[in-house]
Structure 1
Amino acid sequence: MIYRLGELFCGPGGIAWGALNADIGDDNYKIVHQWANDYDKDTCETYRYNICSDNPKSVYHKDIREFNLENLPEIDALAFGFPCNDYSVVGEQKGMDGVFGPLYSYGVKVLNIYNPIWFVAENVGGLRNANDGKAFTKIIDELKKAGTHGGYTVVPHLYKFEEYGIPQARHRIIIVGIRKDIDVAYHVPSPEPYADIDNTCRKAIEDPPIPTDAFNNELTKQSKTVIERLDHILPGQNAFTADLPDELKLNVHGAKISQIYKRLDPDKPAYTVTGSGGGGTHIYHWKESRALTNRERARLQTFPDTYKFIGSKESVRKQIGMAVPCKGAKIIFEAILKSFAGIEYPSIEPNINE
């Protein structure tokens, strides 16, 4: 079957790339783009350019709270990486009490209107602890009950993408749901087949070398002070663990975020690529005293070098940081397709109870 995919909070297309490139060796089981929505204009332009250049009007640039969900083209599948701002351990952790917390409900609305065969929902690991765990319980309960075909069987799991060959320590809760009236069961794919992949950040960034004419590869201008500070920071260290001269130390009281001016360890996966933040949060090269370029950051998110991000340098940085790693998404979509095709694959038990 060809599954027509709708997306809310689509971002620049990490999930979509994984879906459209999912291949189980049977052309009868594929995923195609149907429509997508995001509130950010640059993000929508990036998505249109890379995912659906032949059908740009299928991407709706609109705040979800003002977006008419009725009368969209029919879909067989839904993906929604609902905003994580209020669930992230880096944020204020307002959970359901924040502006972004309740936005998952629009995914539930789409399930109720279109009754897709299956869905994929994505959020940060902190979702489980928001509002003392009540937010996660509420979201799972509403997803289970959604639609008009008896609800969905849901399989939530905290995926540690570095275990799946992704060159980045990125931990995300992904919830796969399949309609209960359909006799198909999804199993969490095992990370074991990816155990021998070289997923060091050195490999991701340097092999093969980034083409000189690659998109989004301009260097960040570093101040003299930043360069001097980085010169004293060893691979894997940050501004607080390095032996810095007094004049280069940061005047920070309270919480000391470990990613501030943190150099990559070239022999390990990168630490988590983030979408925004002030000085010291850009991810720093292990050898050269500079921040990574957006293209290098995109490689850590497993976007192909041909993937063009549209917008200002800071806008592109945000888009890359908010995305789901392309190849990580592909693994999950291939597991879904194999489930429907009746193809067995190595699997593990979910690490989250419903």
Structure 2
Amino acid sequence: MGELFCGPGGIARGLDFAVEDLRKEGVEVDVEHTWANDYDAATARTYKANFPGAHVIHKDIRKLDIETELSDIDGFAFGFPCNDFSVVGEQKGIDGTFGPLYEYGARVVDRYSPKWFFAENVGGLRNSNDGVAFEMILDRLQEAGAPEYGGYTLYPHLYKFEEYGVPQRRHRIIIVGVRNDLEVDFRVPSPEPYSHIDNSVKTALSNIPADATHQELTRQNPTVVERLSHIKPGENAFTADLPAHLQLNVQGAKISQIYRRLQADKPSYTVTGSGGGGTHVYHYEENRALTNRERARIQTFPDDYIFEGKKEEVRKQIGMAVPVDGARVVFKALLSSLEGIEYPSVEPNLLRSVPPRREASASERSA
């Protein structure tokens, strides 16, 4: 597998765990992490530390030579930047700085025609630019690859990861594409087999090893500590009954995650990778922000996962990642589909009309 916009490796580690799950069930599968690219130096170091066999390219995607710096792959993953599609922000969509970057993923598919790809973005993608951006991206990916393969069948689905045992309410669109000549039908995995998992915050944050890294506490102003003492689990700075001197003087939209405390018996709200005071995710019981290792737990990274960089750089990496166990669920389903293994499934919730599979013409096969 190769990756663009690889981040710290949430997708890649999820794939590894999916492979391990299938091996335990007697299925002989294996995947090698061949190459990966990210524009952020600390993030690239994190990926390399955890996947030492991969060729990690630290470079702006717009300066990457897809023809010469990459190599052949069977699978491809790209969590293309979500900044312009997120509901938090200016929502410029396809017209923003980051919106058009999905095209680089499509170009990799054009050049290497992988058997499958895994593309990830925020749920806001489907409504960006009045829905035009999402359809444009799907059209482009559906027709990508060498002509002789007849394009890809796409399976876009809005996954609510808390339904799959992840201790976080994180909703993401994942587009699985399977090359048409393979005649493989991917099926969206059902959440039902994961319904028994205790994905409460209290369980997720329990029993962190004493020697775990990235457990440094955030230096918090005494006013912040006092403010948190008045905020109950599930409340934020605007819904809590705060004394006048602790209230925030904010005009206009009031983001619900500002100084919002977790609830011990429920999944976390969405962990983010950036933002100033009030956005660091706050403990359900203690008057403090979570540590980076605790955020990593909510993102289902294993405790031995290595993060490189300064404290805020690590926070950003964790918040921008795909939850490991979320990717694991999708990849187990994808690998099972490729192996012809049945599993519980549901209908995709972002269905669109796609042309039926077709045989490549003689001219295409000889192209």
TM-score bracket for this pair, using the shorter chain length = over 0.9
**How far apart in 2 are the matches of 1:32 and 1:175?**
21
- Of the three residues 216, 219, 224, the one matched with 1:218 is 216
**How far apart in 1 are the matches of 2:225 and 2:17?**
40
Aligned to 2:200: 200
What are the equivalent positions in structure 2 for 1:92-131 lying under 5 Å apart? 92-131=90-129
CA distances 1:241-264 after superposition (whole Å, capped 9, x unpaired): 000000000000000000000000
Q: CA RMSD in A?
A: 0.8
What are the equivalent positions in structure 2 for 1:266-277 lying under 5 Å apart? 266-277=264-275
Contact 1:22 1:30 in 2 (8 A): no
Contact 1:30 1:337 in 2 (8 A): no
CA distances 1:76-111 after superposition (whole Å, capped 9, x unpaired): 000000000000001110001100000000010000
Cα deviation for residue 353 of structure 1 reads: 2.0
**How far apart in 2 are the matches of 1:10 and 1:30?**
19
**Amino acid of the structure 2 residue aligned with 1:178:** V
1:323 pairs with 2:321: yes
Contact 1:79 1:119 in 2 (8 A): yes
**How far apart in 1 are the matches of 2:30 and 2:165?**
23
**How far apart in 2 are the matches of 1:78 and 1:333?**
12
**How far apart in 2 are the matches of 1:125 and 1:210?**
31
**How far apart in 2 are the matches of 1:231 and 1:222?**
13
Cα deviation for residue 332 of structure 1 reads: 0.6
Contact 1:88 1:126 in 2 (8 A): yes
1:158 counterpart SS class: strand
Cα deviation for residue 183 of structure 1 reads: 1.1
Contact 1:215 1:307 in 2 (8 A): no
CA distances 1:233-290 after superposition (whole Å, capped 9, x unpaired): 0001000000000000000000000000000001100000000001000000011000
**Amino acid of the structure 2 residue aligned with 1:19:** L
Cα deviation for residue 26 of structure 1 reads: 4.1
Structure 1 segments unaligned to the other structure (5+ residues): none
Aligned to 1:28: 28
Cα deviation for residue 196 of structure 1 reads: 1.2
**Amino acid of the structure 1 residue aligned with 2:224:** V
Aligned to 1:7: 3
Aligned to 1:257: 255
**How far apart in 2 are the matches of 1:11 and 1:91?**
20
**How far apart in 2 are the matches of 1:298 and 1:18?**
14
Contact 1:225 1:248 in 2 (8 A): yes
Residues paired across the two proteins, number = 345
Cα deviation for residue 22 of structure 1 reads: 1.4
CA distances 1:96-146 after superposition (whole Å, capped 9, x unpaired): 110000000001000000000000000000000111100000000000000
**How far apart in 1 are the matches of 2:200 and 2:15?**
25
CA distances 1:203-262 after superposition (whole Å, capped 9, x unpaired): 0001xx112221111100111000000000000100000000000000000000000000
Q: What percentage of residue pairs aligned between the two structures are identical? A: 65
Aligned to 1:42: 42
TM-score after normalising by structure 2: 0.93
1:68 pairs with 2:65: yes
- Of the three residues 83, 86, 89, the one matched with 1:88 is 86
Structure 2 segments unaligned to the other structure (5+ residues): 353-367
Contact 1:37 1:61 in 2 (8 A): yes
**Amino acid of the structure 1 residue aligned with 2:45:** E
**How far apart in 1 are the matches of 2:26 and 2:93?**
41
1:308 pairs with 2:285: no
**Amino acid of the structure 2 residue aligned with 1:203:** T
1:215 counterpart SS class: coil
Cα deviation for residue 29 of structure 1 reads: 2.0
Contact 1:49 1:308 in 2 (8 A): yes
Aligned to 2:167: 167
CA distances 1:142-186 after superposition (whole Å, capped 9, x unpaired): 000000111000000000000000000000000000001111100
